[in-house]
Chain A
Amino acid sequence: MSFEKFKDRNVGEDGYYMVDIEDYPETGWGKFKQVASRSLKGELFVGLWVVLREMFKFDIHTVQYPKEKLPIGPRYRAVHKMLRLFESGTERCIGCGLCEKICISDCIRMDTKYDENSRKEVTEYSINLGRCIFCGYCAEVCPELAIVHGGRYENASEQRAHFVEFEDMLTPIDALKAGQQEEYPGFGAIIPGSDKSVKKTPLAY
């Protein structure tokens, strides 16, 4: 066992380091040089020219977002969804904690407890979308195909840290009953025909 973390008593700056950026000019001459070089390079006009040119062509290919939206493939990875079991309607998540463990941005957190039915119950579950990099590891590791990526990519917010909770991601029960939950074909889903590669366990009954 490493004792390093216990020996470092400098708790305040733990894990921080300085980013290597050019120093701000301090002298008057330095500031002048920076302004001059930025204005005279003319990068600004390149962009303005492109806009002007396209405006006169009247040939606009842009999707009229937000009025229009592009269709999204099943393997696209946007804000997560939590699926339910089709038969019973119970949530698929068993609270195993694998998504929390695998998440490389460490943005999933969950609390679990032993419930009245002697089952593991997920009492709280949140994903910090401000940190999530939508890598899909959580969806891939999930043994229950409970957490998956949906197509909702609009997650702008006023704060860097903003969370989505279990209830928000879970298929509403009436949506499930109305047959609106589809089996997820995307990232981490079972490969079609994978049944064939499973070795069968003998059963005594």
Chain B
Amino acid sequence: MANEITITIDGKEIETQEGEFILNAARANDIFIPAICYLTRCSPTLACRICLVEADGKQVYACNAKTKSGMNITTTTENIERERRAIMEVYDVNHPLQCGVCDQSGECELQNYTLEMGVDSQNYTIADVDRPSVDWGHIHYDPGLCIVCERCVTACKDMIGDNSLKTVPRGAGAIDGAFKESMPKDAYAMWNKLNKSVIGLTSGEEMLDCTSCGECAAVCPVGALVDTDYIYTSNAWEHKQVPATCGHCSAGCQISYDTKHTSIDNPEEKIYRVSNEWNYVSLCGAGRYGFDYQNSDVTKDETAFGAALDAFKKADTINFTSTITNEEALILQKMKDKFGYRLVNKDAQDFKTFLRDYSVVSRSSIYGSDLEKVHNTDFVVSVGSALKSDNPNARYAFNNAVQMKGAGLYFHPVADPVVDGMSKNVVSINHAPLQEEAVLYLLLDLFGNKDLLPTKIIDYLATFHSMKTVTVTETIKEKVVTQVTKKVVNKETGEEEEVTSDVTKMVPKKVSKEVEVDDNRLLEIVGAPDKFEETLQKLLKKKETFSLIVGPDLYTHPSSQNIARLVALIEKYSAFELVMIPTLTNTLGVGLICDLDDEAGEYAIGYNTQGDYVLSALGDGDLDMPAINQQEGTLTSINKRVNPTNVAVGYGGYVLNDIANALGLKAEYTIDYTEQLPTARGFKTRKFDDLPNHYTNAGEEVRGYLLGKMPVRMKKDEHVVAIDEDQALDGTLVYLANPVRQFTPFTNKAHQLISEGGLYMSESALSGSELQVGDEVSVKTEAGEVSVKVISDNKIDGEIAYLPTFDANINSEALFGGYRFTTASIEKV
């Protein structure tokens, strides 16, 4: 870790880490330095130059100058003030006076800084060029308002990883030369750059085709980029901001539901948009646009409630999914304790088992790292997850680590153009399904500490190595002597003469030779690209911190026990720090709180899933329940954090707690259970109302609390079994996954995300087959059959198609025997 140092800013002594950017150090200590283009966690672009400060007598940019011990910093000098004012004047040149209708008004950094710098007159001018606004689909871009701070470009590249935006030529005339003399230097340089560009699409297409997270519009300091759905519907100051936790995936992002009344004649609260602390947390399209999934127009239906109670009295099983809060999970567990219900939840059960198997080797109840740490590592590996759709924030962490001078390996059977497009420092390896063990052995082989690893494993790994002779072509430098004849003028005679001399040159020459090299058969098994080892050597240069992300493919893998142990071995015997992606929103919490059963009994209550009597927050069951945006409670995230979420929109019906109370449990509110969450499983005795939910200026996450680590009481067992190469699936394969922005039927309820699922095929797979988009096909596996439409998805590549789980009309799960891949036959009907 970097050293603690002391620096002085405006006479105030502050502690910071050596090498931290001055701006971040100042912010962490509540010292204000104006800054527009810098995004925390991304690389500085130096587009705005307003963050000028004086460090040890020299003007530097606070967002990219690093602190040194004893540094003395002044945040304003006369010259800096002149620069800043000129910069703001430049931003205001030709800026339309349309705050009255602009969606950013009230939270606009141009408004704020123009006021802050006291700009009350304009000294600069240039003829404007036509900059018509464009519709990019879910985002609208108005170049007239754009100040070319490039924050959108930076966010999309350094954080999201889509690289969909770039600067394109503006086509403006040259700035009047006289300004060069009269203007402050940095303001002129910044104007010069700004005047050359506007923002365009990297693809060169008309429409934005990305993973549609909306982060570019969120970070835009002005009204240039706005969400199409939000345009002109509301003003920033009208919203009540409800601090919450996104309920769609296990990342548990902090969000704010921005609500106000529905309309003039409907005073009910409505969510207009979701906003976020984009410096510290980046949302995906599901979190940002999938906000209105509430169960609306529900009233207390006493007959249905009575029927529900009867059903509970009759039932011996409760089937449920992990899209519930910790408190609801605890209610279910208490009902189990009291009435002996069987609790059946497949995804939580699988994850829980995986964690237990992992603990046997690791002696730790839970994986050691979190996404926060992944952001700051240099080398990231992902195994067993369709990263961008399983947990978008894990994808952002992966990408961010790679973009910040890191590198990564992505192991997954389904090729992902988004991952491939991140950087040349990412190598994707699309191994065959059921070869995940080989991948993990390969990681042990490449990165494991051979001095510590159990000898059995070392011996086993050695069986994959052999020596082979290969012919390599090398370039060597060869000495070549040539005779050169030149004409020179003889100084004495003044006549031209020919002189011949020998010139020696080193000329590169290609030679082939045979060498003995090590052959690692594991590379072949996983299907690593040619020269993988060389590439890896390059990627590993100067890398010190390592992260391993493992995902849901592994939890349902037929050899999940062996895999869990291998994963634990990697964490234990290599530099890798480990994160596991919990399958659904609260899979981790549910797994910790509930004692789950394998088999359902005779009569089952279904909570958000099938059952003989169904409670549903989707509004399609026998009794309505509130959706997560209508509830207060806590959710346990991938970062092992118990995050609070609040009520964004009202709900008029019964909740699970009402049923529990009627059956004999006792709690006034569901959140009375927050402080009763099991401490034996790592939870804390904290009241819901005492749980914070914010980020500090230093970027520290002050949300809920972190789960504690629990002692492991199982016998240590590091035994692992060999790979079964024949297991590899081939033929026509189908994967169980969702397209980006979809997770569950809840995301599919939001008006911006509603879509019909189908069989998603890559463009290349489609063009290589007889099938057309829209064809009705029957997908048949050993376990079952569904009939769906073919959909083209350009966010995957290769031959493997996938079936979604978000569309309640397609029972995809029925086709899979647990593991997320299966062989199938796909036939047009």
Contacts and interface: CB of A to CB of B under 8 A. Distances in A.
> Chain A CB within 10 Å — which of B120, B123, B124, B235 has the most?
B235
A177 interface: no
Contacts of A112: 232-234
A111 B647 CA distance: 24
B392 to A, nearest CB: 25
Closest 5 A-B residue pairs measured CB to CB? A96-B100, A120-B101, A202-B125, A204-B127, A120-B232
A39 interface: no
B633 interface: no
Nearest to A112: B232
A196 interface: no
Nearest to B176: A204
A101 B235 CA distance: 10
B243 interface: yes
Contacts of A110: 264
Interface stretch (A3-11, A45-53, A64-72, A132-140): A3-11
5 contacts: A1-B243, A9-B669, A96-B235, A113-B232, A113-B233
Contact of A97 (B123, B125, B238): B238
Interface of B: 99-101, 105, 120-128, 133, 176, 231-235, 237-238, 241-243, 261, 263-265, 632, 646-647, 669, 689, 693-694
Contact of B689 (A3, A95, A119, A199): A3
B100 A94 contact: yes
A204 B100 contact: no
A120 B105 CA distance: 14
A118 B263 contact: no
A204 B125 contact: yes
A101 to B, nearest CB: 6
Nearest to A93: B100
A96 B127 contact: no
Contacts of B242: 6
Nearest to A109: B264
Contacts of A9: 669
A126 B267 CA distance: 14
A58 interface: no
A16 interface: no
A126 B176 CA distance: 50
Interface string A69-103: 00000000000000000000000001111101100
A202 B123 contact: yes
Contacts of B264: 109-111, 124-126
A205 B235 contact: no
Contacts of B125: 201-204
B689 A97 contact: no
A124 B243 contact: no
B243 A3 contact: yes
Contacts of B669: 9
Interface string A1-31: 1010011010000000000000000000000
Contacts of A121: 232
Interface residues of A, number: 33
A112 B231 CA distance: 9
A94 B238 CA distance: 17
Nearest to A8: B689
Contact of A199 (B121, B243, B265): B121
A6 B646 contact: yes
A179 B236 CA distance: 38
Contacts of A205: 127
Interface of A: 1, 3, 6-7, 9, 94-98, 100-101, 109-114, 118-121, 124-126, 143-144, 199, 201-205
Nearest to B133: A118
Contacts of A97: 235, 238
Contacts of A100: 238
A199 B373 CA distance: 53
A144 B100 CA distance: 9
B396 to A, nearest CB: 24
B243 A111 contact: no
Contacts of B694: 1
A124 B128 CA distance: 35
Given A112-B233, A124-B264, A6 B101 contact: no
B231 A114 contact: yes
Contacts of A124: 263-265
B122 A111 contact: no
Nearest to B124: A202
> Chain A CB within 10 Å — which of B121, B133, B241 has the most?
B121
B647 A1 contact: no
> Chain B CB within 10 Å — which of A98, A126, A144 has the most?
A98
A120 B226 CA distance: 14
Contacts of B265: 124
Nearest to B99: A96
Contact of B237 (A101, A199, A203): A101
Contact of A95 (B101, B126, B128, B237): B101
A201 to B, nearest CB: 4
A202 B122 contact: yes
A203 B127 CA distance: 7
A205 B241 CA distance: 45
Contacts of A1: 241, 243, 694
A98 B101 CA distance: 10
A138 B198 CA distance: 37
A124 B263 CA distance: 9
A35 to B, nearest CB: 44
> Chain A CB within 10 Å — which of B124, B689, B693 has the most?
B689
Contacts of B243: 1, 3, 6
B235 A199 contact: no
B233 A204 contact: no
A199 B632 CA distance: 53
Contacts of B123: 202
B200 to A, nearest CB: 20
A195 B127 CA distance: 24
> Chain B CB within 10 Å — which of A6, A94, A112, A118 has the most?
A6
A111 to B, nearest CB: 5
Nearest to A6: B646
A203 B124 CA distance: 8
Contacts of A204: 125-128, 176
A192 B101 CA distance: 27
B343 to A, nearest CB: 29
Contacts of A101: 235, 237-238
B110 to A, nearest CB: 16
B242 to A, nearest CB: 7
B631 to A, nearest CB: 12
B630 to A, nearest CB: 13
A111 B133 CA distance: 23
Contacts of B238: 97, 100-101
A8 to B, nearest CB: 10
Nearest to A7: B689
A112 B102 CA distance: 12
A132 B679 CA distance: 55
A95 B232 CA distance: 9
> Chain B CB within 10 Å — which of A9, A94, A98, A114 has the most?
A114
Nearest to B123: A202
Contacts of A6: 242-243, 632, 646-647
